[in-house]
Amino acid sequence: MADDEEEETQVELGPETPVEGAPLARVASRLTWGLEKSEVVRREGDVEVRTADGPVRLADALDGVDDTYFSSRNAFVDAVRAELPDGPVPAGDPVAETADADTDADADEGEASEAAADDE
């Protein structure tokens, strides 16, 4: 019942709103803990994680972490989050998306006009 009362604000992104990078929680869930930092880098270092400043390679974020061993998922997530910028994750450029949509609509209209002219 307490869960019903504590509703969190959610933002639905949909297919038109791209978000670069993977959530850190998803990356952490793919691993089994405890792990050495070098093993995390070997397995997932090339993955880009979402941050407030855009995607960052996990290996780059781990460069600033002093720990060499993560005993739990929480220890890993806390250490990485301490190295990443905090704040909302940007969800694409709506101006560029609108311009692309206008260009696509214009192109579709042009194709329809050409098809009508071919039918005559």
What are the pLDDT digits (tens) for 15-65? 666 788 999 999 999 999 999 999 999 999 999 999 989 999 999 999 999
Distance, CA of 15 to CA of 76 (rounded, Å): 30
For residue 6, count CB atoms less than 10 angstroms from its CB and return exposed for 0-12, middle for 13-18, buried for 19 or more: exposed
At CA 113, angle to CA 110 and CA 115, rounded to 5?
A: 110
pTM (predicted TM-score): 0.63
At CA 48, angle to CA 101 and CA 23, rounded to 5?
A: 80
What are the pLDDT digits (tens) for 65-100? 999 999 999 999 999 999 998 888 777 665 554 444
What are the pLDDT digits (tens) for 97-112? 444 455 455 555 555 5
Spatial neighbors of 47 by CB under 8 A, at least 6 apart, are 22, 27, 57, 58
